[in-house]
Structure 1
Amino acid sequence: MSDPVREAREKLLRVGLTGSYQADDAVPDIIVRSWRRSIGSAVEASAPAQRYRDVDTDTLLGRAAVPVLDRWQHQLADTGTTLFLSDRGGSIVDRRASDSSERRRLDNMHAAEGFDYSEDSIGTNALGTSMVEKRPVFVKGSQHYSDVLAANACAAAPIYTPAGLVVGSIALGGPIQAASPIMLSLAREISQQIEERLRTSSRPQDLALAMSFMRFTSSQRPTVVLDHESVLANTPGLPYVNVASHVMLWEVLNSHNWSAAPTLRRELEGTRIEITARRVSEGPRVHFVVHFSELEPTWQPERGEEGEPKRGGEPHPRKSSSAALGQSVAFIEGPPGSGRSTAALDLLASWGKRGALESFTISAESPAPWGKIEDLLQRGENVIIRRLEKMSADEFADFSKAMVATQKKWATGNHVGNLLGTVYREEASSELQAVVDRVGVAVRMAPLAQTPERIPGLVTRILNEVDASSRHTMSPAALQSLVQWNWPGNVAELADTLSSLVRTVNASVIERRHLPKHLQQAPPRRPLSLIKSAERDAIIRALDAAGGNKSEAADLLGMGRTTLYRRLRQLGLESGEATI
């Protein structure tokens, strides 16, 4: 038996987005619009949902929706329908199936927690399409863009915050044989009940944040609005938003001296992204509006009043177009462990230099092979000499000889390698200091204690190196604890800590409770009063004793669960992702 809906979809696929197409009455206009968007997103129509990520239910939406879902799950127990809750990105964050056989059926089509059901991921479906259309949607059978979903019927409605932002969607679904128009009415009712709970639980600061954000929802400029707990992004701003970027942005913005200028403009560490930010003092809590722009692949070192690069500047430098191919000799200055070698690699990459970087370290135990170093440079190989401040007087003479030979060959236009050196000027000899001053500092690094905004990016980079299988991610609360620690051992200490966590933590998400005690109890960078410090320590001990269970921790502390949530936020111990 022919299926006119499927035939209509196949016809649209044949003619494409630019071809002439007229749908018949068998297909509603809202479905055709969604099909067109699905084709434009190059959605795979024959495969189940592929995008997956770990989801967090302890969010503003999750806390509002769970009691409503509990109640409706009981009322719909014998109907054969399943409840789905998605976040604003389209990922399923909660699923309430009626029985085990239905759960297995849904698992086979990846209709489960963690899978992405946004329209640009899986095509036309009620969860994703309702958020794009910003209205309730009923999708059944072959109206779904994916053939995998053709045996289902699903009705969904978007969920709005009090400020009018779509924060997710709620759906009722089941086999197509169970399809009923009443499913759409029930989806509307459930979404309204969740919205009512969002209204009653909304804090003044959430509303203030949302009101600021409303001005940018239709803007084509990538924009986010954020405070310590939450971040809202318009559609162009979504690629710039994740847990690490939220923590990094908050550190950058909160540590800036806003009395000097109402607007901050700077490049983010380790990226080609520039932000323009302003501070908003309206409402009960300060928040920030941030715009993003992509920089051209050229750079100019940030310099202070005397012409020297500023301390704590770019660890991933930018150079002017005239220096795009690099220079014969470059120094990366900063204390040991501050990431100087990594900055050297990024400096070479910014010059367009590829291939191996031969590395040598100055030490009293084994003198550097200066003849080999000079030979490598003359053959066009790039060389980095680490810890130049440890050189003896004899080695300084050898270093000077190699440097002069390299500069001479460079000046004549002959092919020669780049000589990079890491140096801590405060411990260098006066002769080496003079050389550094004459050549200039290409990159100046500061200790992590002075540049905490670098930590989220470093965590991502180090995890990519020590966790090759990408088994682990870092929770927002754990990342915030890493940012709060002063890291006396600098990048080396951070790398050792992350390597140990990857080896010892079996869970996929590294949470605050997995961190060493000194990191769990790292105080906020703004000092607390003695009373607040004691309260913070007591809450940490209670959460540890309760294995992270907040209800049990509240009982141990003799306070209500709501009070504990409020104190967790106030003391910087909130473990959720808020509205990320």
Structure 2
Amino acid sequence: MADPVREARDQLIRVGLTGQYGANDAVPDIIVRSWRRSISNAVESSVPSQRFQDVDTDSLLCRAAVPVLDRWQHQLADTGTTLFLSDRGGSIVARRTSDNSERQRLDSMHAAEGFDYSEDTIGTNGLGTSMVERRPVFVKGSQHYNDALAALACAAAPIYTPAGLVVGSVSLGGPLEAASPIMLSLTREISQQIEERFRSSSRPQDLALAMSFMRFSSSQRPTVVMDHESILANTPGLPFVSVASHVMLWELLNSHKWSSSSTLRRELEGTSVEVTARRVVDGPREHFVVHFADLNEAAEGLSGLAVPSHAPSAGTAGTGPRRTVPAVVLVDGPRGSGRATVAGKLRATSASTARFEVFAVSAEAATPWGMFEDLLAGGTDVLIRRVEEIADNEVALLASLVEGHRTARIAGQRDSSLLLTSSRDQATPAVRAFIDTTGPAERTEALALTPERIPGLVKAILDVVDPESRHTISPAALQSIVQWNWPGNIAELADTVAGLISDAKGSVIERRHLPKHLQQAPPRRHMSMMETAERGAIIRALDAAGGNKSEAAALLGMGRSTLYRRLRQLGLDTGEGSI
């Protein structure tokens, strides 16, 4: 006997998304929409799900849902139905059935833990389609896009967090002959019970974040709402979210003087991304709403509007006119603060194809002024590092090199660039006068003053010392790295990260693996004398107790819960939870 539903699907596949397709009363609109998405995603319709990955059975979703599933498995015994739970990516993370033969049949269809049932992988099905449609759905028999599921009926509902985000879905499935509309009502009830467990287990600060997220986010503007421990992002904001960006943003937001300005507007270093942030003081502790904007996209889409002068110009990439670097570029700042890197980036904006030579001035060796002149005249870009090391009797030679090169560039005799790095604070009066006369094009700051740079620098260092990405740094460890003042600047940071990688026993570097001075790095916020003394006393007590917090609390004469709270407040919490 012909199946009109399967014939309707086959007709849609034949005519394609742009062909003429007549509506079929036998197929609900929600199913046709899902079929169209399945065709658009080139979903295979004749084989079971082939995508498998290990799943996290200790996720927040599983912890909230598993007790509910266990309770309903008992109530649904002998009904021939099976409960499925999927994460937001569509992978089945839990399955509950009381029938061994049904379990074996589902295994043969790859309807088991670890298999991907997202709509863009397996096509129309309860778990995946309910999340895309963001509402309960009932998919019966050949309404499934995949032929392997045609003997099943399943009702499914998305699961929402208190913030209104779809975090997964739950489905009640069984043989087609057992299909009943009551399955949809039961699925709704199960999803609501899981959502209630989410709400009851949420901390007050999490609920405050969720409320702010619902107030300030939209479907169009990339937005995150965050505090020290958690971060919520809408779909456009997801590309901006990572462990490194969370830590970097937190440091950036905490360094801003909110008492003098209620809004922070800043371009993120090394990017064309601008953040606009505001502080929210509602709830148990303050948190922040952050919006992102790509200045390059804004410049392209809003002709006639002025782009901030610090935004990269349209010609900085491989297309458009070449941006000319000045004849002489001086970058001034403390040693180890990334002066040479900044100079190199300024040169890179010109897309120069000239040869590039780098030299470091040393008081122990003669400076080859003649060679510098020959290289520049021959079209080679030259970077002279550590101008502060130049002796007073050579300042005139440096000034002559600079003036001669500028004159030759103006006359059109050269197109090379001379780049210099200096540390004015460590220079002699004569060299300081030269630096002041030349005028720095950029100034760098010590890491202690720009902690928001540290996450990006750590990633760059990891790319060099661990090119195969065999190791990662936990959020808590990265937070401790950011809190340290780094008196040795980038060189100290690079040596520390390289040492951590060489000594790593596992793939994840946690806070406990850091050197002790990093584990105990104080928060960057200013602490009172009382807090400083208390922090020192807690560190000594923990050392005396061998890290045992209960014993340390007894030594300090305070309750264990009080100690845990003070550990968090004073930046001594060694937990590896997500921040």
Tell me the TM-score range normalised by the shorter chain.
0.7 to 0.9
**Residue 298 of structure 1 contacts residue 319 of structure 1 at CA under 8 Å; is this kept in 2?**
no
* 2:485 match: 486
Give the CA deviation at 1:116: 7.6
Amino acid at match of 1:511: E
Deviation larger for 399-408 or 318-327: 318-327
* 2:577 match: 576
| CA distances 1:320-347 after superposition (whole Å, capped 9, x unpaired) | 9899322111112111111222222222
Report 1:108-257 matches (<5 A): 119=119, 124-138=124-138, 156-163=156-163, 165-172=164-171, 187-257=187-257
* 1:302 match: none
Give the CA deviation at 1:224: 1.7
Amino acid at match of 2:261: A
* 2:454 match: 455
Report 1:376-525 matches (<5 A): 376-393=375-392, 395-525=394-524
3-state DSSP class of the match of 1:513? Answer: helix
Report 1:303-314 matches (<5 A): none
Deviation larger for 519-528 or 118-127: 118-127
| CA distances 1:538-563 after superposition (whole Å, capped 9, x unpaired) | 67999977xxxxxxx78997999999
Give the CA deviation at 1:124: 4.7
Amino acid at match of 2:382: V
Amino acid at match of 2:338: G
Report 1:552-567 matches (<5 A): none
Return closer, same or farther for 1:469/1:193 CA change in 2, 3 Å cut-off: same
* 2:262 match: 262
| CA distances 1:27-50 after superposition (whole Å, capped 9, x unpaired) | 543233234345556778899687
How many angstroms apart in 2 are the aligned matches of 1:393 and 1:283? 60
Unaligned runs of 5+ in 2: 300-308, 316-320
Return closer, same or farther for 1:563/1:55 CA change in 2, 3 Å cut-off: farther
TM-score, scaled relative to structure 1: 0.77
Deviation larger for 16-25 or 287-296: 16-25
Identity of aligned residues (%): 57
How many angstroms apart in 2 are the aligned matches of 1:412 and 1:25? 80
Return closer, same or farther for 1:224/1:433 CA change in 2, 3 Å cut-off: same
How many angstroms apart in 2 are the aligned matches of 1:222 and 1:535? 41
How many angstroms apart in 2 are the aligned matches of 1:533 and 1:154? 60
Deviation larger for 11-20 or 47-56: 47-56
How many angstroms apart in 1 are the aligned matches of 2:105 and 2:401? 68
Amino acid at match of 1:233: A
* 1:304 match: none
Amino acid at match of 2:335: P
TM-score, scaled relative to structure 2: 0.78
Return closer, same or farther for 1:340/1:128 CA change in 2, 3 Å cut-off: farther
3-state DSSP class of the match of 1:326? Answer: coil
Give the CA deviation at 1:371: 3.7
Deviation larger for 357-366 or 337-346: 357-366
Give the CA deviation at 1:170: 3.5
How many angstroms apart in 1 are the aligned matches of 2:291 and 2:347? 29
Return closer, same or farther for 1:267/1:284 CA change in 2, 3 Å cut-off: same
**Residue 386 of structure 2 contacts residue 422 of structure 2 at CA under 8 Å; is this kept in 1?**
yes
Amino acid at match of 1:210: A
Deviation larger for 252-261 or 73-82: 73-82
Give the CA deviation at 1:416: 2.0
Return closer, same or farther for 1:469/1:121 CA change in 2, 3 Å cut-off: farther
**Residue 334 of structure 1 contacts residue 425 of structure 1 at CA under 8 Å; is this kept in 2?**
yes
**Residue 217 of structure 1 contacts residue 235 of structure 1 at CA under 8 Å; is this kept in 2?**
no
Return closer, same or farther for 1:207/1:427 CA change in 2, 3 Å cut-off: same
Give the CA deviation at 1:6: 6.5
Return closer, same or farther for 1:575/1:11 CA change in 2, 3 Å cut-off: farther
Give the CA deviation at 1:205: 2.4
| CA distances 1:136-195 after superposition (whole Å, capped 9, x unpaired) | 3455777666789889876543222335x1241133588989986677556434432322
Unaligned runs of 5+ in 1: 300-313, 546-552
**Residue 90 of structure 2 contacts residue 127 of structure 2 at CA under 8 Å; is this kept in 1?**
no
**Residue 267 of structure 1 contacts residue 275 of structure 1 at CA under 8 Å; is this kept in 2?**
yes
3-state DSSP class of the match of 1:413? Answer: coil
How many angstroms apart in 2 are the aligned matches of 1:14 and 1:541? 75
Give the CA deviation at 1:364: 3.4
Return closer, same or farther for 1:484/1:55 CA change in 2, 3 Å cut-off: farther
Give the CA deviation at 1:446: 0.9
How many angstroms apart in 2 are the aligned matches of 1:387 and 1:9? 71
How many angstroms apart in 2 are the aligned matches of 1:18 and 1:363? 70
3-state DSSP class of the match of 1:441? Answer: coil
Return closer, same or farther for 1:283/1:257 CA change in 2, 3 Å cut-off: same
Amino acid at match of 2:36: R
Give the CA deviation at 1:426: 0.8
How many angstroms apart in 1 are the aligned matches of 2:440 and 2:166? 48
How many angstroms apart in 2 are the aligned matches of 1:469 and 1:519? 26
**Residue 298 of structure 1 contacts residue 320 of structure 1 at CA under 8 Å; is this kept in 2?**
no
3-state DSSP class of the match of 2:279? Answer: strand
**Residue 409 of structure 1 contacts residue 415 of structure 1 at CA under 8 Å; is this kept in 2?**
yes
How many angstroms apart in 2 are the aligned matches of 1:232 and 1:217? 10
**Greater relative contact order: 1 or 2 (C-alpha under 8 angstroms, separation 6 or more)?**
1
Give the CA deviation at 1:228: 1.6
* 2:34 match: 34
3-state DSSP class of the match of 2:277? Answer: strand
How many angstroms apart in 2 are the aligned matches of 1:540 and 1:264? 40
* 1:84 match: 85
Give the CA deviation at 1:450: 1.0
Give the CA deviation at 1:429: 3.1
Amino acid at match of 2:416: G
* 1:310 match: none
**Residue 48 of structure 2 contacts residue 148 of structure 2 at CA under 8 Å; is this kept in 1?**
yes
Return closer, same or farther for 1:119/1:189 CA change in 2, 3 Å cut-off: same
3-state DSSP class of the match of 1:494? Answer: helix
**Residue 325 of structure 1 contacts residue 352 of structure 1 at CA under 8 Å; is this kept in 2?**
no
* 1:548 match: none
3-state DSSP class of the match of 2:331? Answer: strand
How many angstroms apart in 1 are the aligned matches of 2:357 and 2:207? 55
3-state DSSP class of the match of 1:249? Answer: helix
How many angstroms apart in 1 are the aligned matches of 2:364 and 2:407? 31
How many angstroms apart in 2 are the aligned matches of 1:157 and 1:350? 51
Aligned length: 550
**Residue 348 of structure 1 contacts residue 354 of structure 1 at CA under 8 Å; is this kept in 2?**
no
* 2:276 match: 276
* 2:331 match: 332
Return closer, same or farther for 1:560/1:82 CA change in 2, 3 Å cut-off: farther
**Residue 57 of structure 1 contacts residue 93 of structure 1 at CA under 8 Å; is this kept in 2?**
no
